[in-house]
Each structure stands twice: as C-alpha cells, then as structure tokens.
Structure 1
Amino acid sequence: MHFSPATSYDADNKIWSGPPDSYYFAPELSIGEIIYEEMRRHPKLIAQISDTENTILTHEELLLNSIRVATYMRNQGLNQNDIVGIIARNTTHIFAVTYACFFNGIAFHSLNILHDQETIERLYNLTKPCLIFCDGDEYEKVRAATKDLNVQIITMRNHTKDSFSIEEVLATPVGEKFQTARLEKGNDQTLAILCSSGTTGDPKAVTISNSRKILNPSPPLTTTDVQFGSSTLDWLSGLLTTVISGVYSTTRIITDCGFDAEYFFYLVEKYKITWAMQGTASMALMANSEEFERADFSSLRYFFYGGSRCSLEVQHKLRRVFSLDCMHFAYGLTELGTLASVNYHFDKKPNSSGRLTNGFKLKIINKQGEAQEPDAVGEICIYSGQYWDGYYGNRKESQHIRDNNLWFHTGDLGYMDDDGFLYIVERKKDMLKYKTMMYYPHEIESVISKMPDVADVCVFGVWNPYTGDEAAAAVVKKKGSDLHAQDVLDYVMEHVDATYKQLNGGALIVDELKRSANGKTNRLATKAYFLEVKDRN
C-alpha cells in the first residue's frame, strides 16, 4: 500500500495545503546526526555498491571513512562558516565526503563536471570554498578556475601528480570519541548549495537547509530496500537520494557514468532495485530502447521521475511494462530542497504531478497576482513553511523568486483539479507569441512526440520581425529511422489546425538535444544550435 498524502482546499483564500509536517525522527536532530546514528545501528549491512568500480562498503566502513574525512576537515581548521566544493562523479568515496560535511555542519557547494571554467570560476568566487573535491579528469580546469582562491584541491580518482588524493585523506587518524557537530543555526542552517538548472539563464547558487522536508520524496524505507539514482550531487535528485539512503540505511547502487537505458535495466535486475529516481529525459530513452520490453522491473516499488515535461505516450508505455503501481511523477524546485508534490495515483490521474507533500501550501495566481479556483491555469506559487537562505550572494534574485509573504513564484504555469492534483502546463518564460496569438512549445512538442520515428523533440520560437515567434523544432529520430525534417513539417501541418502553431520557423533533425549541466533540455542552447546550422545552410 503506497503512501498517499491528502490535500485540503481553503475555498475562501483559494489555497491548497498538504498534510502537516510529520517527524519520523526527533525534529531537533540534524540530517548529519540522523545519518550518523543510523550507520552505527546497522554496521554490518551493505551501505553502498559501486557497479562500475566493483567496490562494496558496509555501513561500518562508510561511517569510518566519513569520520576520517570529517576529522581531516577539522584538522584543517574548517568550521561551520566554511564551504567545501564538490565537482565529481558518483565514485566510491564521494559520499564519505558528503556525510563528513553533514557530520561537521559544513555546507558543500556542488557543481556539475560539465560546467566550463568560466562558470566554475564565477560560482566558486561567490562561495569561496576552502577545500574542493574533484575528479582528476577535471583537475586542471578546476585549478585554473580557482587560481585566485586559497583552496586545496583533493582528487577522487585519476589523480594527477600535483593533487592531494582522497586516499591520503582517508589515512587520517581518528580519535575514539568522535561526535557530530551541533548546528550553530539549528536546522535552518544550510546543508548544501546546489545550482539552479540554468535552462532560462545563468546557474545560481541555491542554498538548501537542514529541513526535514528533504525526506518528503518517499515514505520511510527499510534496510531491505535497494536505491539507485544516476544523478550526481549537483542535482537535487542526487542530494535527495544520498540523504534518504543514509537516513533509512538502505543499500545504494552507484555508478560513475551517466544514465544509459540498457545499463539501468541491467542494474535493476542484477541488484533487485526497489527505489529509483530519474529525470524525465531518461524516460524517453527507456521507452525507445530495444531492450525495454524484455527488461525485468519486478523488484521496483518506487520509481520517481520529474524535472521537466514528459509525454503521456512515454509514461503509458512504461506503465504497461512496470509490474506494480510504482510510477510517481513528481514536482519540485531546487529552491525548495525537496519535492512539493508526488503522484501516487498514476492510473487515476495520468500526467499529474500529484498532491502536495507534507508541510506545503500552493496557490495558482493570474497576471494580476490574484489566487485562482480549481482548473484555472496560472503561475504556481508555493509556500514551504521553512527557512531559506536564498541564492548565495544574490539577494536581488532571491527576492525576485520569493515574495515578502514567503511564497515562491516558480515561473511554472499549471492548475489544480477538484481533487487537489497538480498539473504542470509550461514554463511561464517559454510562452511564445505569433502575430496576436499566444502559444506554448509543449503544445507542438506533444504532437511531434506522437510520430513513431521520433525519440525526442524540442520546440522553440525563432523571431521574425513581421510575425513574431515562429515555432521551430529540433528532432531526434529513433535509431534506424529514415525520418527527415520535411516529414515533421508535414505531420504537424496534418495534425494541427492552427496556423500559428505550425512549424513556420522550420525543423531540423539532430543527433541529440542540447542539455543543461543537470540533464534538462536547454531550449536556449538547442535554439542557438538550430540557428547556427540554419545560417550555415
């Protein structure tokens, strides 16, 4: 029986509310204190398996490694006002670094390995980390980006001759009476700093507090559960998976590579994975894999997905193969530090992002800022009831996304139905205007995605001074397909009546869509590539 939060509705104020906050653990405990005690409770159980590095760590071993890293940080004089940098893949010892930060009450600032030197320099000049843990693969880039900072760089793998290795850190002697640090600011203290997606602008450094809402994505798991998520620690989903696996003493499967559909199928079957969290981009890759119909998903109990829109056709295809009602479309913001809604009723409410999770309130506002009734589309605004320290070093943008009454203005358009289920329509900033008519890219994407030969699609507006935003599409065809751009143009013309929703800006077949560092489709970058190819031709 799945956990199913209810949502109440205040008709006078037109505000929806999730269930009240509940505490499985004592509310005054920090995330680090909980994980520390849970690791001590289950010393001999397996905590982590790296399939790519062929390593296995028990809770006892992972705890000792975490204490060694935490002690090293203390020996270096780091305190709770300092910040640790992370730019690394999911390798064997990166989670000892993560838990060490939790134990010490030190926030880490995690960036994606794909960030360029300029972005790394700009973001780390904001937070000024004292230590940076990175893979040797990115060592030179990180060193160049932080040349003006007084920072020590520690490599996690592929060590260079100039770097200090994680193995040297793990040789740190530890005392018999190690204790986790009590947080100076309580659970309002920053746990981690992640990056916004950067799909609509430059990435920002987003603070995440020690709030217990970070556990919202899942009901309490047990030591028999096996978790997997391909996201690294710069993704909210990567942080959530790391925290949840530590808090509930599950076995976590890790890999040091990006998502691959066939490899994911192999991992689920080999390790009997019960809990997984993936981005919606992975859904299309899974559904279009030749191995999908033969994969064994019988062990899965919870499969969370979110991050952007996902075609209903793809969702239904996965639902037909998954043996249990385990598919849960979820919605959240990095700024919230967790998921605000989860759909535990896919069969009844397909394509919904579900009901609100514990402690959240939501309202839908129109252009005048007025709250709307059920089924009315408007901007989604969320109240978390928790402390947020804002974008690090960016007070102006912090005030822009969160108003004086502490409501987050998400920039997403959606609506709530009469049963309190949330539906996401589109990003507010993605709205296009052709002549006098407004439309959204997803309206055309949903049509194109139904083409049998289409694996993925991104629609955007190409500016025409006479007509406005002309819709254009970048399309990824399925393997072995002979799909051409004209086929896409013809299909849209045949299936869409409105002239302003035609691909008046053209179509282009591409090998892959451009993505931001966290894996989301980057509409701006895909559009830029489209225009570059168009100009060359």
Structure 2
Amino acid sequence: MIFKSQYPDIPVVHSDLATHIFAEAKHFKAQRAVKTRFAICDAPTGKELTLETLEQYCNQFASALQNKLSLAVDDVVLVFSPNTIYYPVAVLGTTMMGGVATLANPTYNERELAHQIKDANAKAIVTQSHLLPVALDAIKHSGASIPATNIVLVDIEPTKQSQYVHIEDFLCQKPFTRFTINTESAAKEKLAVLSYSSGTTDSLYLSQKKNEYVKLGLSKGVMLTHHNLISNQLMNRIFDFDDGWLSDYNTLTTFMGVLPFYHIYGFTHTLLVGISSAVGVVVIPKFEPNLFFSAVQKYKVNIAHLVPPIIIILLNNPDVKKYDLSSLRHISTGAAPLGDKIVKRFEKMYRNITMIRAYGLTEASPTVTKSTRDCTKTGCSGKLMANVEAKVVDEDNKNLGVDEIGELCFRGPFVMKGYLNNLEATKNTVDETGFLHTGDIGYIDKDGDVYIIDRKKELIKYKGTQVPPAELEALLLLHPDVVDSAVTGIYVEEEGTELPKAFVALSPSLVHLTEEEKLKKAQEIRKWLDGQVASYKRLRGGLTILDAIPKSASGKILRRTLRDMEKSKSDFNSKAKL
C-alpha cells in the first residue's frame, strides 16, 4: 500500500537556492504588517545584518571565492564553525558562484574533520580562531592542499591573525559570474549542500596495539541538491500556514537560532526558513540556558525550533523563572523522540505556547511529517507533508497496510541525490522506485498519522546528533586491555535523550581483577575513549566490563540484550529506592 499526503501537491520552483531564498524574503517582507529590523543578529554582541546587507555579503563572498581563490563551479567550501551571523553568508555565498557548501560539526576532532575534508575534497575552509588548531591538523592529516589564503575566519569580532583573513576583509566587490538555475533538470542535478550523516562508511585506522588497520564507521556525505532544499522549504512553509500553526505570521518577528546550523534541522528550519520568511533570526553560538533565556527575553523571540534536551531544561531549570519568556508562541521539536509525559508537562507549564512535533532525516532534506496543532494522539509524529508518499515494508520488502508495523519509507522531491562516493550505500538506502528507506520502524494509522516505535539502524541519537556505535567500538579495540566491545544507546527520560553506553570484554591476562579493580579499569578505559572523540560521542552512559559480549550465532552484537540488561538494572534500582 502506498500512503499519500492528505495535502495537495505544491509546485516546486526550479531555481537555485540563494535566488529562491532572497526572492521569498523580499516578497514576505513587503507583505508583513510588522517588519523586523534585522535578518540575522548575534545575541551576545547585538551585531546585526539587515536583509539587504546579508544578500550583499553573500554576493561579495561569492565574488571573493571566484576572484581571490579562483574557485570554480562544483568546488567545495567546508564550513567548520559554531552558529554565527556569517553562516548564511558562507553557505549561500558559496552556492551563488556554483560551489557546494559542506557543513562540519564544530565539536569534531582532527580525525573526524580530516575525513570530511578528504571525502568532500574541500578547497577552502570557513572557521573561527579557536578552531584553527583542529582545522590545521585535520588539513595535514587529510593530505589536502588548502593554503592559508583559503582559510577564512568568521569570528564575530575580528582577531589579529597574520596569516588568515576575516570574512569582512575577504569580501570582494568585483563582478563575478553568478550561478543560476532555470530548469527542473539542472535543479535536480546540481548539488548545493553536503550534509554529513553518521553511518557505517568504513575508513582504515592504524592500530598501534595490533599493528594492523581497523575499520572505523565514519560519516557519509549526503548530497542535497538545490531542488531538494527548495522543495522541503516550501513544504514546511505551506504546512505551517495551512495548519494554522503560523496563522499569526504577520505579527511574528523573531526565530531563535539555537540549534546548530551544521545540523540539517537547524540549517533548514531555523536559518533558511527564518531568512526566507523575513523573520529575524537571533543567533547564539551554542545552547547555554541563561544565554537562551536572556535572548528570548531581550529580542522577544516568538518561534523556537528545539530538541528534547532543551525542552527538558525549559521544564526543570530553576533560572527560567527569572526571565520573561511570554513572547514565545510556537515551538517545534524534532531530531529525536519526545516522550508524551514530557509533552504533557510542557503543555501544562507553558499554556500559551503551541508545540508541534516533526520527523525527518538528513537524507530527506529533512522533514517528512509534522503534527497538526490540534493533534492529541499519544506517540504521534504527525501527518505526511505535501508532496510526500510513504510505504511501510516488512523484512522481505513487501508493502504493509494500515496499522501494520514495518520499516518506514518515503518518496518525493526532497529525497537526496545519494551518498557522496558511496554508490553501494545509496542503493541500499534509496530503492529502484525512489523510496528512501529510513531504517526507522513504525506504522501509519487510518487517519494518516505516522508513528515511530523503534530504530532498525544502530545509530545512537545524543541530543539529536547521530553517534555511530561502530566507530566507538573500533576505537575501543585499540585500547591494549580490550579484546571485544559493544556500544548502544541508553534512553534517559530525565534528560530526554539517548546516552552512548559501552560494554567491553577484557584481555584474558586481566581475569584476576577484583570487582573494585574492574570499576577502576572501566573508568580508565572510558576516560581514554572520551579523549579520542568529539564531545557528543563521549560515553555519558558509562562503560561496563562483561565476561563476554552477547552475540548471535552469526556473530552479530545483540544490542537489544544489552539495552534490556541496562533497563533491568535501572528498574531494580528504582524499586530499591521506594
């Protein structure tokens, strides 16, 4: 059975991303009853860019890439930075000259960033001063040839860096060849953004312990075209207006730019939708509770796209009572599941805020479902958006019907072009009929509402960011005392997220360890691993030493068994406290 959206299909504009975003922004700005002073603003310093200045900077950044760096169409610019008002300048400016922007997690270490530099074949890097050591080490490790002239700094306040230019000094007013798209075929073919999604791409890493190469599961480059991103932006806007979620649009003034822009959710839903809707985007570099609260109060923020851990903080942080958050009218939550108990607590505490839930994935640009404002169904992830078709398939890839549980698959103009340099992974993810297989298990009810109940993929989602267990497992095997390892996600409702948890089996030479010594050894291995990876991949769920890792007859790690072990332990501890 093929499920179709209840909303009529919308025509997709065949244009390039930057032209579309600024045309939309000018159109809505002219219509708005309440006009916003800025297009984007840095909350900590108050530095602003108007819509006109933002577009001018994008053009001048594109000119500089062409005239100063001699970059050509399809060359890749890597953006390695926390949220900043210059983020859209770097991304949209790159697409204006026909380049491709690849967005890197600013918490990456040298090894992780080197993979993305090499895989994407980046020709230039946009970053900040405090990230330069990681960026420079990554360039060296990747073997890329990126000279100092091709590194542009986007610190809010320019710093004295003799070798590296600040973006405002980098901008160029010379004429340049503006890249445009006018046909459907060109829009569907031309890449705009490479957004990396954690997965099971193999990369060889030399083990000093065993003097052999170990495969690490590294992130895959998701190729998103101009057509993909424009389609999803239009789908979101039409849904929001038709559902009435943003029926008070003309009086809305500000979006909160708190989600990381390198993440597809923050990049599309906050940055692109905010700018194109002529609603000011208030940027904070990263989430800090009091900075978030003060920004909402100072700029009278109306809309915030959040993830469950931030919702938890809004519920539990005592400082929230010190601030006036009454301007907040709408919250959208996505990137990870939000428990129904948390939703009910939030609705009771914040009665004047409308909350909706969205579901999507990087490979879908990203959103495919959204809940309506009047949805009261437990566990519902919303209805299919316009232009979306869905099917639910069993393990034999046979189509299922209403209320039947299987893997959720989606088709539409938003589906990625594929994984960069990985045809096999692309074929395994997008089938011959164009359906994107999500790896998420769920069902669709008689009303067309979508439910997610489990994850077929083994990825862990920590605060909305994907953590691949295979990478951590391979790294753990590099420790001299570890002979086998397994990593899984342990959901902690109080934090509203999964936490990476490791299990290891020790070398036979350590069988004599006492329980106390095992605890110390576990702490030692955990500390060692945490020093090898980005902050969000650290073992916040802990590390446990087992006699052996549970596996199937074919050798597959039984992660559900490990999760059940943890749940049993948690349930026992809860009962013991009563």
TM-score (norm 1): 0.75
The separation in 2 between residues aligned to 1:78 and 1:328, in whole angstroms, is 42
1:83–1:202 Cα change, 3 Å = same
1:130–1:462 Cα change, 3 Å = closer
| 3-state DSSP of counterpart to 1:161 | coil
1:533–1:234 Cα change, 3 Å = farther
The residue number in structure 2 matching 1:335 is: 363
The residue number in structure 1 matching 2:96 is: 103
CA deviations 1:401-427 (Å, max 9, x no partner) are: 111121111111111122111111121
1:191–1:61 Cα change, 3 Å = same
The residue number in structure 2 matching 1:34 is: 20
More displaced stretch, 177-186 vs 235-244: 177-186
Q: Give identity over the alignment, percent.
A: 19
TM-score (norm 2): 0.70
Task: Output aligned runs, 1:248-267, within 5 Å.
Answer: 248-256=277-285, 258-267=286-295
State the shift of 1:361 in Å: 1.1
Task: Output aligned runs, 1:242-281, within 5 Å.
Answer: 242-256=271-285, 258-281=286-309
Out of 75, 78, 81, the position equivalent to 2:74 is 81
The separation in 2 between residues aligned to 1:296 and 1:178, in whole angstroms, is 48
State the shift of 1:460 in Å: 6.2
Whether contact under 8 Å (2:265, 2:335) holds in the other structure is no
Out of 409, 414, 422, the position equivalent to 1:381 is 409
Whether contact under 8 Å (2:443, 2:451) holds in the other structure is yes
The separation in 2 between residues aligned to 1:153 and 1:273, in whole angstroms, is 34
Whether contact under 8 Å (2:357, 2:381) holds in the other structure is yes
The residue number in structure 2 matching 1:57 is: 49
More displaced stretch, 127-136 vs 219-228: 219-228
CA RMSD, 1 decimal: 3.7
State the shift of 1:263 in Å: 3.0
Runs of 4 or more, structure 1, over 6 Å off, are: 454-457, 516-519, 532-535
| 3-state DSSP of counterpart to 2:137 | helix
| 3-state DSSP of counterpart to 1:268 | helix
Task: Output aligned runs, 1:303-382, within 5 Å.
Answer: 303-324=331-352, 326-345=354-373, 347-382=375-410
| 3-state DSSP of counterpart to 2:342 | helix
The residue number in structure 2 matching 1:164 is: 165
| 3-state DSSP of counterpart to 2:91 | helix
Aligned letter for 1:50? D
Out of 68, 72, 87, the position equivalent to 2:64 is 72
The residue number in structure 2 matching 1:417 is: 445
CA deviations 1:30-56 (Å, max 9, x no partner) are: 221123335666599421111123202
CA deviations 1:220-241 (Å, max 9, x no partner) are: 6558431113123320112212
Ranges in structure 2 where 5+ consecutive residues have no aligned partner: 31-35, 202-216, 242-248, 460-487, 506-521, 549-578
Out of 150, 153, 157, the position equivalent to 1:155 is 153
Task: Output aligned runs, 1:514-525, within 5 Å.
Answer: 525=539
Aligned letter for 2:83? N
| Structure that is richer in helix per residue | 2
Out of 145, 148, 154, the position equivalent to 2:138 is 145
Task: Output aligned runs, 1:178-193, within 5 Å.
Answer: 181-182=180-181, 186-188=186-188, 189-193=190-194
Whether contact under 8 Å (2:389, 2:410) holds in the other structure is yes
The residue number in structure 2 matching 1:17 is: 5
